[in-house]
Amino acid sequence: MNEDKEKMTAEEVSVGADTRQSPITTADIIADYNGFCNTEEEEFFIDPRKLDPRYIETVTMHGLLDTAFTPRIPIIEGLLYPGTYLMAGAPKIGKSFLVLQMGFAIATGTPLWGMQLHQGSVLYLALEDDPARLQRRSSRMFGVEGTKNMHFATKAKSLENGLMQQLEGFIREHSDTKLIIIDTLQKVRGDDGDKYSYANDYQIISNLKALTDANQIAVLIVHHTRKQDAEDKFDTISGTTGLLGSADGAFLLRKEKRTGPEATLDVIGRDQQDQRFKLLFKQENCTWDLTEIETQLWRDPPDPTLDAIAALVNAESPIWEGTATELAQRIGSGMLPHHLSRKLNVNVARLLAEHGVLYAPSRSHDGRRVRLYFAEGKGSR
């Protein structure tokens, strides 16, 4: 076990409520998972099989179930999660207004269309604009109060010549970064003659996806659609299917009548259900209003075990720590301890989203233990 992990597991946390504990932040949540979520294999053990070029690393089903993965905390509830997304639509349809509206909501912590979100810094690469146009657009949309959390750039390097390093540098300087907007993809593609191949399109998104996976942020890439129609509307996204195939999701903004204010926003993604929103463009301030949600989100039925956890750990009793056996007895689940641990591993994100409770298994010289934090308002919603 390395020195960093020894320092983290040396922390003393009392069993039961302890109102003298410091507030738990989103950074604490991620730090806990980085420190405590692991598989059965000790980190210092180097498997000699890995030196064999014929070796392929696998994980057993038990290994998966025995691991608690870091929860992907939504940036905009039910709409935008950490990952790399396309925002596609016909030219001059209002995509830039929409992504700026989303970015401003995140930067100010203002709910978007009634959807709760997590506030943080936003970088908008407005590569088809100049500062004067950005000033006119942002003041028309949001007034002149502004926010220091919204950052603009009208010039950036291409993906093949330094953009990734620029984005990494911005994240280092702004550790609360939640969203990076690239407007547009064409401006950062570079001059590679093979840039429209499936492999190149896939690699473009994969590079950005590595950035979002490492930093738990979202990258939203503005892109165009083709004029040709398709049975699947997402097949109209310009370029090869490598773009959508590698992305975590996509937004498709469409108008039935180009001169009309009504539009449809279709959303697909790995971490969310497919949805369709009806929007109305307000010409007076160039923002989009939500008029209807055609597809309602499906909700999981109540789970007695998770409800019992929420009754045990809440605002009045914010911290609990013990063994899985002690937890099973405390909530009266009737489950075998290792089955309870696996159930909690599988439901980390749901427990946090629905009940504001963070489950973080830990390991020390005394063995494995269960940590439960009430994190409502500090990372869960």
pLDDT surpasses 70 at 37: no
Architecture in CATH for domain 83-293: 3-Layer(aba) Sandwich (3.40)
What pLDDT, on the 0 to 100 scale, is given for residue 25?
46
Mean of pLDDT values over 209-224? 94
Query: At 33, is the secondary structure helix, strand, or coil?
Result: helix
Return the half-sphere exposure (C-beta side, CA atoms, 13 A cut-off) of residue 39.
Answer: 12
Residue carrying structure tokens 């007895």: 329
pLDDT digits (tens, 9 = 90+) for 70-92: 888 899 998 999 999 999 999 99
Q: What residues does 362 pair with on adjacent strands? A: 369
For residues 214 and 229, the model is more confident at: 214
d(CA 78, CA 273): 8
Residue 320 has pLDDT above 80, yes or no: yes
The answer on pLDDT for 35 being more than 70 is: no
- 59-68, 77-86, 284-293, 370-379: the lowest-pLDDT one: 370-379
Q: Say if strands 249-254 and 83-89 run parallel, antiparallel, or are unpaired.
A: parallel
Query: Side chain identity at 318, as an amino acid letter?
Result: P
The confidence score (pLDDT) of residue 44 equals 53
Domain chopping of the chain, boundaries: 3-71+300-374, 83-293
Higher-scoring residue by pLDDT: 355, 242: 355
Pairing of strands 121-126, 150-153: parallel
Verify cis geometry, omega within 30 degrees of 0, for the bond prior to 184.
yes
Q: How far is CA 20 from CA 17, 23, 36, 136, 320, in A?
A: 9, 9, 23, 49, 13
For 125, how many CA atoms within 13 A lie in the half-sphere containing its CB? 25
Q: Which token pair is 53?
A: 């070029």
Report the sign of the C-alpha dihedral through residues 133, 259, 111, 265, in that order: negative
Tens digits of per-residue pLDDT, 115-169?
999 999 999 999 999 999 999 999 999 999 999 999 999 999 999 899 999 999 9
pLDDT at residue 248 is higher than 90: yes
d(CA 287, CA 310) in angstroms, rounded, equals: 39
pLDDT of the residue at 65 = 93
Phi–psi pair at 256, nearest 5 degrees: -70, -35
Asked if 313 contacts 344 with a C-beta cutoff of 8 angstroms, the reply is no
| pLDDT on residue 364 | 67
Cβ proximity of 226 and 186 under 8 Å:
no
Strand order, beta sheet including 319-322: 319-322, 367-374, 357-364
Identify any residues that bridge with 179 across adjacent strands, giving them in sequence order: 122, 218
Side-chain-facing half-sphere of 154: CA atoms under 13 Å:
8
Q: How far is CA 325 from the centre of its chain?
A: 33
Confidence label for 14 from pLDDT (cuts 50, 70 and 90)? very low
Mean pLDDT over residues 277-291, rounded? Answer: 96
